[in-house]
Amino acid sequence: MFSFQELKRSLGVSLWFAFLTFPIMVIRADPIERTVVWRWDNLVFVAIGSFVISLLVRAWYAQRDRRRERQSANCQPARQPLLQLVLHEPRYLYPLAGAALLFATAFPFIFSTYQTNIMITALMYVMLGLGLNIVVGLAGLLDLGYVAFYAVGAYTYALLNLHFGLGFWTVLPIGALLAAAFGVALGFPVLRLRGDYLAIVTLGFGEIIRLILENWNEFSRGPSGIANIPRPGFFGIELSLDNAILYLYYLMIAMVIITIFVVNRLQDSRIGRAWIALREDEIACQAMGIDKTKTKLTAFALGATWAGLVGVIFAAKTTFINPASFTFLESAIILCIVVLGGMGSIVGVIIAAMVLILLPEYLRALSDYRMLAFGAVLVTMMIFRPQGLIANVRRTYRFEKKPAEADHE
C-alpha cells in the first residue's frame, strides 16, 4: 500500500502536470470564428492519468529497491536486462543482425515509396548518431554544434555542383574531408574546455555557421537556398524518382553497414581506448601518457567526417537546401539519439535513431498531441532507463594463473 506522503507527492505531480499542459490540452482557439473552446474534460483526464502513472512509477521504484536489497543481502550479482544481454551476446546478436539486414533489403518491396523515403531519413540519422557517438559517447566531449558539420557537407555538394558541375560521387569524399577540417578547426580553440563551457562554445560555432550561410548571399544564396541539386547517379544512367529513391535507400544501407563496422573497429582500437580514458578521467588519461590534444582532435575530426558524408547525401536526397535545415534543433535531436540509445552503444544508437525519427511520423494520427506524446515517451525513457536503451557494457579483465603455475606453487 502507498503511504500518505507518496499519495501527496503523486497528487502534486498530477496538479503540476495539469498546469503545464493547460494551454495545449484545454484551450483551443478558432481564428476564423474568433472563438475559444474550453476543453475541461481533457484537463481531468491529464490529471487522473498523471496521478496513476506517478503511483505506478513509485511502485516500480519501491519494487526495484527491494529487489536490490535482497540481492545485496544474498550476495547475488545484479542481473542484466534481457534486451541488453541478448544484444551483447554474439550467439543472439548475429542472427538478429542477419534478420534485420534481410528485412531492410526487402523493405522497399513490402512498403510504399513514401515509407522508403522516411526510412532513408532514419538511416541518415543513424549515421549522424553514430558520428556524434564518437565525440559524446566515447570521448565525452559535449558537442551542441554538430549540425554545423552536417551543413558543411550539404553546402559542399550544392556549391561545387552549382559552380563547377561536380557530381555526387566526386563530392562525397570532398564533403567528408572539409567537414573533418572544420572539426579540427573547432577542436583547437576548445582543447582546454570541458563540460558546460565546451557545450556553449560548440553551440556558438554551430550558430555562426548557420548565420554565415543565411546572411552571405553571394556565397550561399542566403535564405533562398540552392535548388536543383542532382540526385546520385548510377553509372551515368538517368533514374526516375522512384528508382532514385530505391537506389538511395540501398546506398544508405551500405553506408550504415560501413559506418557500424568502422565505428566498432575504432571503439576497440588504441584510439578508442584513449577516447574512453579521456571520457572517464581527463587528468588520469594525461598522466598515463596519452596525448590529450591528439585524442580530442581525432574525435572531433572523425565525428565531423560522418556528418559531412550525411550532409552530401541529404543535399542529394532533397535536391534543395537552405540554412533553415540546419538549426540547433537538429543538433538536439542527434544528441537525444546518442543519450537515449546509450552513451557509447552502437546498437542503442541505431534503435534510438529509428524510434526518434520514425515515431513522430507514425504519430501523425494524434495530430495536435503528436509532439506531446513524443516528449512523454522521452521523459518516460529517462525515468526508467537513464543509462539509455542499451547501456554499453563495461569490459572487465581477470587475471588467471596457468595450470602449470598453480601446480608449481
Cell numbers at 363, concatenated: 504519430
Note down the domain range covering 360: 85-384
Whether residue 68 sits in one domain with residue 100? no
Whether residue 216 sits in one domain with residue 188? yes
Whether residue 257 sits in one domain with residue 192? yes
Residue 309: its pLDDT value, please?
Answer: 93
Whether residue 337 sits in one domain with residue 193? yes
In a domain, 328, yes or no: yes
Whether residue 93 sits in one domain with residue 119? yes
Measure the CA angle with vertex 117, ends 307 and 115; round to 5°: 135
Residue 255: its pLDDT value, please?
Answer: 93
In a domain, 390, yes or no: no
Tell me the pTM.
0.79
Residue 367: its pLDDT value, please?
Answer: 59
Whether residue 179 sits in one domain with residue 32? no
Residue 43: its pLDDT value, please?
Answer: 83
Concatenating the DSSP letter of every residue in 303-371 gives HHHHHHHHHHHHHHHHS-B-GGGS-HHHHHHHHHHHHHH-TT-HHHHHHHHHHHHHHHHHTGGGGGGHH
Whether residue 45 sits in one domain with residue 164? no
In a domain, 49, yes or no: yes
Whether residue 365 sits in one domain with residue 260? yes
In a domain, 284, yes or no: yes
In a domain, 407, yes or no: no
Domain boundary among 73, 96, 125: 73
Whether residue 69 sits in one domain with residue 97? no
In a domain, 409, yes or no: no
Q: pLDDT tens digit string along 251-263?
A: 999 999 999 999 9
Q: What b-and-e string marks burial along 179-208, b requiring 16 or more CB atoms within 10 Å of the CB?
A: bbbbbeebbeebeebeeeebbebbbebbbe
Whether residue 122 sits in one domain with residue 25? no
- pLDDT (tens, 9 = 90+) of the chain, 409 residues, equals 567 777 888 888 888 878 887 877 778 877 777 788 888 888 888 888 888 888 887 787 777 777 777 767 665 555 555 555 555 556 666 778 788 888 888 888 888 888 899 999 999 999 999 999 998 888 888 888 899 999 999 999 999 998 888 888 899 999 999 999 999 988 888 877 777 888 888 888 889 999 999 998 888 888 888 888 888 877 767 777 888 889 899 999 999 999 999 998 888 888 888 888 888 887 888 788 888 888 888 999 999 999 999 999 999 999 899 998 888 888 888 888 888 888 878 888 888 888 888 877 776 666 566 667 667 777 777 777 777 777 665 555 565 666 655 555 5
Return d(Cα 311, Cα 330) in angstroms, integer.
12
Whether residue 140 sits in one domain with residue 234? yes
Whether residue 328 sits in one domain with residue 231? yes
How many domains, in total, are found in the chain? 2
